[in-house]
Amino acid sequence: MIHSLKRPDGCELLLEIDDFTNPWEDAPWLVMVHGFAESRQAWRAWVPHFARDFKVLRLDLRGFGESTAMSETFPWSMEVIMDDLQDVVTSVCKAPVHLIGAKSGGTFALEFAARFPDLVKTVVGVTPPVIAAQGVEGWIRAIKKDGVLAWARSTMTGRLGSQVSEQEIDWWVNVIQGKTSEPSLLGYLSWIPSLDIRQSLPKILSPSLVITTTGSGLRSVESVRAWHATIKGSTLHVIEGDAWHAAGAYPDVCAQIVRDFLSLNATHATHATHATNGA
Amino acid sequence: MPFVKVSQTIDVYYDKTDFLDPWREKPILILQHGNGRSGAFWYRWLARLSKHFVVIRPDMRGVGQSGKVGDVNTDISIEHCVSDLVAIIKAESHRAVFYCGESMGGILGIVLASKFPELIQKLVLVATPVFISETMKARYAMGHGSRLDAMKKMGIRQWVLETSVLTRFPPDCEPALLNWYVDEFAKGQPEVLVRYSELVNSANASVFLPQIASPTLAIMPTQGQITDAEQEQLLSTLVKDIQIEHIDSPYHMIHLTHHDDCIDKVLKFLLPT
């Protein structure tokens, strides 16, 4: 079911809810936040894994997908995105949620959990850039010079890994990233280099899980371990693979890891077989 | 969500659940509800099946989110329901689809597969009677002259509650499921529900069984009150390529009470080995 949530500045956020839970039960919410230059469509393979047990809400962040596009000069900030997410959780879900984000959506999910502990039951970040990736200036130059489609295609193998098929690349390029509004994308990219949420991580109190890959071209496992160690009681799961966008490249593997995490955290336990920080 | 216009005045609704990778081939599975229900009654099947198929759930004309009909006696017939399914399949696919129907939805599947073999790749019948036995007709009359009399005199809600306890749900079923089923069923327009009951009461799909060309799976409750041994014998004798599997229950709503067992059998039958 598609919903639209109008924000005070006129921006309309597009939300899609898939709910196959028992109609008479008040099932928990699972909110999915996509990353840069994507939309809720990035989560499509995840939904069947969760929608029998959770009301699954996927949103298009402002500027992306079918939500209102932002101008190139829009003053992006963490506050703007946190306010949007807070509105979604309090106005639509009307209850604390399980929150999942991928790529920069994972960064937002972790930051949201740090800021709003009462609104978050558990939080999952899939390959989140806790500190902005290097090379963003190069992306801006590439997009301005050759356009979104060419930039998306040139970066897609790194994003989805060496095993990705041509057909899959075409879909992500043409349907997901290539359809992103260029002003939204350029404005967002000019803000993103300042992203650094390391100070927020120790404030995360809810059970948390971070998923990363062994062969990401953007960040090493050791660099992830360094910041992950500051999240109290958090679980880190490392997937074999060379994609930096594990949620998009390995959706079924990631979804199963998250299902295991969520089933254990009904009692606030953490997965004993994974590396878990001392609580 | 989509509608197909099947006449000047009638629109038929179907829900489409598609989470498959857009860059791969996407097989389609139709889930057709039975008498008086709607596509909403399949909700327990969607998560598992939508990992493998685009799942389409039509609401028969006049029920669920489908548009209202005019004269129920002229606008609702088995032939109409089958032609609605043909319209939906042609709107969504250029090739044969998988079809799974429960109870009367299975009867429609039998007619559809028989008359339009090019549209059905494989057929699944869940708790599907070939016809309604005299014993069941008497039981559903609930002490009144007929099932239709009972529905009219008792009121839809009371009739469906009492017949559900009798034939559809086991005594140890979740009470909330039974209550939800009754409430959801009773949302239908009484004259539409009575008309569908009239159709299913008088239906006999025997004549269509020999024409089914597609591989067929029938999932039946053991000691089914509506799908008895005589009917299973008809299916196994008259359908060329059929396997019959059982769910251990004497109650009819196995697609709701034993959904995971049913889905296991459906996936084993439909997915390539």
| CB-CB neighbors (< 8 A) of B24 in chain A | 167
pLDDT 10s digits, A145-168: 998 889 889 888 888 988 889 999
Cα–Cα distance for residue pair A70/A80, rounded to 1 Å = 12
| Domain spanning B3-132+203-270, CATH class | alpha beta
Each residue of A176-226: pLDDT tens digit? 988 889 899 999 988 988 899 999 999 999 999 999 999 887 788 999 999
Which chain B residues are closer than 8 Å to A48 by Cβ?
Answer: 19, 46-48, 50-51
Residues of chain A in contact with residue B43, where contact means CB-CB under 8 angstroms, are: 20, 23
Summarize the confidence of residues B60-73 as an average pLDDT.
93
Determine contact: B177 vs chain A, CB below 8 A: yes
pLDDT band at A266 (very low <50, low <70, confident <90, very high): low
Output the pLDDT for position A159: 86
Q: Which of residues 152-171 of B touch A (CB under 8 A)?
A: none
* Class of the domain covering A2-133+195-276: alpha beta
Q: For residue range A40-87, list pLDDT tens digits in order.
A: 999 999 999 999 999 999 999 999 999 999 999 999 999 999 999 999
Instruction: Tell me which chain A residues have a C-beta less than 8 angstroms from the C-beta of B18.
Output: 44
Q: What is the mean pLDDT of residues A131-141?
A: 81
Q: How confident is the model at residue A278 (pLDDT cuts 50, 70, 90)?
A: very low
The confidence score (pLDDT) of residue B81 equals: 97
Q: Check CB contact of A171 with chain B, cutoff 8 Å.
A: yes
Arithmetic mean of pLDDT, B19-35: 96
A20 touches chain B (CB under 8 A): yes
pTM of the model: 0.93
Whether the Cβ atoms of residue A5 and residue A88 lie closer than 8 Å to each other: yes
Task: Judge whether residue A269 has pLDDT over 60.
Answer: no
- Residue of chain B nearest A47, judged by CA positions: B19
**Sheet with B216-221, side-by-side order of all strands:** B3-5, B11-17, B54-58, B28-32, B97-102, B120-126, B216-221, B242-247
What mean pLDDT is predicted for residues B246-272? 96
Q: What tokens appear for B49 in the block?
A: 């099946």
Which pLDDT score, from 0 to 100, does residue A272 have? 35
Pick A48's closest partner by Cβ from B19, B23, B177.
B19
Answer whether A3 touches B (CB < 8 Å).
Answer: no
**For residue range B217-242, what is the model confidence (pLDDT) as tens digits?**
999 999 888 898 999 999 999 999 99
Which residue in A has a C-alpha nearest to residue B52's C-alpha?
A: A48
- Residue A278, chain B, CB below 8 Å: the answer is no
Strand pairing report for A12-18 and A2-6: antiparallel
Q: Does A52 touch chain B (CB under 8 A)?
A: yes
CA end-to-end span of chain B: 33
- Asked if residues B257 and B222 have their Cβ atoms less than 8 Å apart, the reply is no
Asked if A222 reaches chain B (Cβ–Cβ under 8 Å), the answer is: no
Q: Which of A114-118, A266-270, B164-168 has the lowest mean pLDDT?
A: A266-270
User: Which of B250, B245, B225, B249 lies closest to B235, judged by CA?
Assistant: B245
Domain ranges within chain B, ordered by starting residue: 3-132+203-270
Question: Is the distance from CB of B236 to CB of B244 less than 8 angstroms?
Answer: yes
> Do the Cβ atoms of B19 and A47 come within 8 Å?
yes
> What is the distance between the terminal CA atoms of chain A, rounded to a whole angstrom?
39
Structural tokens at position B108: 């429609």
Question: Which three-class secondary structure state does DSSP give residue B146?
Answer: coil
Taking the CA of residue A279 and the nearest CA in chain B, the distance in Å comes to 35
Helix (H) or strand (E) holding A237: strand A235-239
Q: State how far residue B56 is from chain A, nearest Cα, in angstroms.
A: 14
For B:25-64, CB contacts with A below 8 A are 40, 43-44, 46-48, 50-51
Is residue B15 predicted with pLDDT exceeding 60?
yes
Asked if A168 and B21 come within 8 Å (Cβ–Cβ), the reply is yes
How far apart CA A151 and CA B40 sit, in angstroms, is 43
CB pairs under 8 A between A and B: 49
A contact residues 254-273, partner B, Cβ 8 Å cutoff = none
Whole-complex ipTM: 0.93
